[in-house]
């Protein structure tokens, strides 16, 4: 997986002033809608919430991968948020979440969806990598750090 195929600079941000899972998912929906033109942030938010009702997408260790499927005409896209303060994301270990990778995948792309989720889970379970992400100070640096991983020997 190449993260550069999922992310654009405008969909990677460092944020403060987020203090709830709902607000974090709203911000993620807004980010995922950026640059697509035809996607409605409210629709994306509702789909993310529907998925959360099935079970939290919080992985633990401060990481969450909120994701949803959209219509067949949609393209696979991602967004990344690093929060200044962790929030309760209903993660299994109850550690506040401060790293979120959002993902939208077309309905019919089940195999791709599962493969990308597995790759992201592996990436974000790398403690040294997530600590590097947490140490970043701005969105540009965060984007570059994410791209450096996708072009490293770890990329599939």
> CA triplet 3, 6, 10: central angle to 5 degrees?
105
Q: What are the structural domains of the chain? A: 3-150 (3.40.930.10)
pLDDT at 75: 79
pLDDT at 94: 96
Mean pLDDT by 10 residues, the chain (156 residues): 85 93 96 82 95 94 92 80 96 96 81 79 89 94 87 44
Report CA 81 to chain centroid distance, whole Å: 7
61 exposed, middle or buried (CB, 10 Å; 0-12, 13-18, 19+)?
middle
Task: Assess whether 67 carries a catalytic annotation.
Answer: yes
pLDDT at 26: 97
pLDDT at 5: 84
- Given 67, 94, 109, 113, which residue is catalytic? 67
> CA triplet 55, 105, 126: central angle to 5 degrees?
65
pLDDT at 72: 60
pLDDT at 155: 41
pTM, 2 dp: 0.89
pLDDT at 18: 94
Q: Which of 4, 13, 16, 10 has the alpha carbon at shortest distance from 138? A: 13
């Amino acid at each position: 997986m190449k993260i550069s195929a999922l992310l654009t600079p405008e969909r990677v941000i460092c944020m403060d002033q987020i203090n709830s899972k709902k607000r974090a998912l709203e911000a993620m929906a807004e980010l995922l809608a950026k640059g697509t033109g035809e996607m409605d942030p409210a629709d994306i938010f509702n789909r993310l919430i529907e998925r959360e009702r099935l079970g939290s997408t919080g992985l633990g260790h401060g990481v969450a991968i909120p994701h949803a499927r959209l219509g067949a005409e949609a393209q696979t896209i991602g967004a990344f948020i690093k929060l200044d303060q962790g929030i309760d994301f209903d993660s299994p270990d109850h550690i506040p979440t401060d790293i979120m990778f959002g993902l939208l995948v077309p309905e019919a792309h089940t195999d791709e969806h599962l493969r990308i989720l597995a790759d992201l889970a592996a990436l974000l379970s790398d403690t040294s990598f997530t600590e590097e992400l947490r140490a970043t100070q701005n969105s540009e640096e965060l984007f570059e750090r994410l791209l450096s991983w996708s072009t490293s020997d770890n990329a599939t």
